[in-house]
Amino acid sequence: MKHSVFVTRAIPGSGIQMVREKFEVDVWDNKFPPDRDEIASRARNCTGLISLLSDPIDAALMDELPNLKIVSQYAVGYDNIDVQAATERGIMVTNTPGVLTDTTADLAWALIMATARRLVEADSYVRGGNWKVAWGPSLLTGQDIHGKTLGIIGLGRIGSAVARRAKGFDMEILYHTRSRNHYTDEVDDELGGRSVPLGHLLSESDIISMHVPLNEQTEGMIGKDELFSMKKSAILINTSRGAVVDEESLIWALQNGEIWGAGLDVFEEEPTQEDNPLLSLNNVVVAPHIGSASIDTRSKMGIICAENLVAGLKGDKPPNLVNREVIDND
Ligand code: GLV
Ligand code: GLV
């Protein structure tokens, strides 16, 4: 049987070409994502699906795709996919970890620096024609980064890459994570990092960066109490998933000076609405979910996504299989 594959958006690089050489490929060629019904109808007979994090792949959709064998996600996070439902239906789910680790850690750092040093405000100030006095003793003063304490919530691949970058800034590194792993050993041994309870991290850190996946345990884990316990000079960075922070509480904290600033690449709802109060706050730097958005990384993600898909459809174990039970159960 010739496999056919639906790709929910044109993705950059040679990944799709690799899939085209082996299987029949249909690519959704619109800058807006297909809605659920459009995915259901275009992928109806497909054995493979390449999905993005904006595509809700739920049980009901899977039931409309009876031939589906693999969902190859073009992202490391896969909270848009009901993995349990996929496993129950014998559908493999894969993701693209690894390649985007350093690119996402770079963006977390870009947000740390832009927020702490008020870079976006400074840029608007100059472009807006406000620079009338050559040098101002208190003009756009921000927070130091060097020598401060960085608190990392979720110390996996990306969290540890963010920690590694802090070394050049002579920072103290605290982290809070679900379980010990080789990243925690590396951060302890090489960077002098310390694993601490969440409350300790929140009250002692100057910059707090979120690196947890979104799931039932992490949803809303930073709410009013957690924000209240942070320093008033604290900066919160989120490049993971918007919903790990309760956005309403974050707005409250930023408006009331409970924390000093925030750098956000992710939101509870994406795209966020133009009237989101976060967008009217000067102490917030925002980006439209571009953590992995370097030209090289987005192309490599396409190749990994293709390799996972090809392996799965050929009957091999995909290199980045998320639900290994699907194979173990066979
Ligand atoms: C992006 O957020 C990803 O999960 O790859
Ligand atoms: C994601 O790649 C993570 O483990 O941080």
CA dist 50 and 108 (Å) reads 27
Q: Is residue 64 located within the same domain as residue 156?
A: no
Domain limits for position 87: 4-97+295-329
Distance from Cα 69 to the centre of ligand 2, integer Å: 25
Q: Is residue 105 located within the same domain as residue 236?
A: yes
Q: What is the pLDDT along the chain (330 residues), one digit of tens a residue?
A: 689 999 999 999 999 999 999 999 999 999 899 999 999 999 999 999 999 999 999 999 999 999 999 999 999 999 999 999 999 999 999 999 999 999 999 999 999 999 999 999 999 999 999 999 999 999 999 999 999 999 999 999 999 999 999 999 999 999 999 999 999 999 999 999 999 999 999 999 999 999 999 999 999 999 999 999 999 999 999 999 999 999 999 999 999 999 999 999 999 999 999 999 999 999 999 999 999 999 999 999 999 999 999 999 999 999 999 999 998 765
Residue 241: active-site member: yes
Q: Is 107 in the pocket of ligand 1 (CB under 6 A)?
A: no
C-alpha distances out from residue 230 to 147, 166, 235, 254, Å: 18, 20, 9, 12
Q: Residue 110 maps to which CATH number?
A: 3.40.50.720
Question: According to the model, what pLDDT value does residue 138 have?
Answer: 96
Order across the sheet with 235-238: list the strands. Answer: 194-195, 172-176, 149-153, 207-210, 235-238, 261-264, 284-286
Q: Is residue 84 located within the same domain as residue 126?
A: no
**Ligand 1 mutation target, pool 99, 101, 102, 104, most atoms within 8 A of CB:** 104
C-alpha distances out from residue 329 to 48, 49, 91, Å: 20, 22, 12
Q: Is residue 162 located within the same domain as residue 254?
A: yes
Question: According to the model, what pLDDT value does residue 94 have?
Answer: 98
Give the predicted TM-score (pTM) of the model.
0.95
What is the biggest distance separating any 2 CA atoms in the chain, rounded to whole angstroms? 72
Q: Which atom of ligand 1 is nearest to the CA of 266?
A: 2
Q: End of a domain among 269, 286, 303?
A: 286
Domain count of the fold of the chain: 2
Q: Is residue 138 located within the same domain as residue 191?
A: yes
Q: Which residues contact 267 (CB under 8 A, 6 or more apart)?
A: 242, 247, 276, 278, 289
**Ligand 2 mutation target, pool 106, 155, 211, 265, most atoms within 8 A of CB:** 211
Residue 270: active-site member: yes
Distance from Cα 106 to the centre of ligand 2, integer Å: 14
DSSP string, 192-227: --EE--HHHHHHH-SEEEE-PPPSTTTTT-B-HHHH
Distance from Cα 83 to the centre of ligand 2, integer Å: 17
Question: According to the model, what pLDDT value does residue 329 have?
Answer: 61
Distance from Cα 68 to the centre of ligand 2, integer Å: 27
Q: Is residue 142 located within the same domain as residue 270?
A: yes
Q: Which helix (H) or strand (E) holds 299?
A: helix 295-314
Q: Is residue 121 located within the same domain as residue 219?
A: yes
Token couple for 330:
């066979």
Contact 154, 221 (CB under 8 A): no
Protein residues whose CB sits closer than 6 Å to any atom of ligand 2:
76, 97, 101, 156-159, 211
Q: Is residue 93 located within the same domain as residue 106?
A: no
Token couple for 195:
């694993």
Q: Is residue 13 located within the same domain as residue 125?
A: no
**Ligand 1 mutation target, pool 50, 76, 320, most atoms within 8 A of CB:** 76
Q: Is residue 108 located within the same domain as residue 92?
A: no
Q: Is residue 47 located within the same domain as residue 123?
A: no
Catalytic residue among 248, 269, 270, 325: 270
Q: Is residue 40 located within the same domain as residue 26?
A: yes
Token couple for 205:
């850190």
Distance from Cα 96 to the centre of ligand 1, integer Å: 9
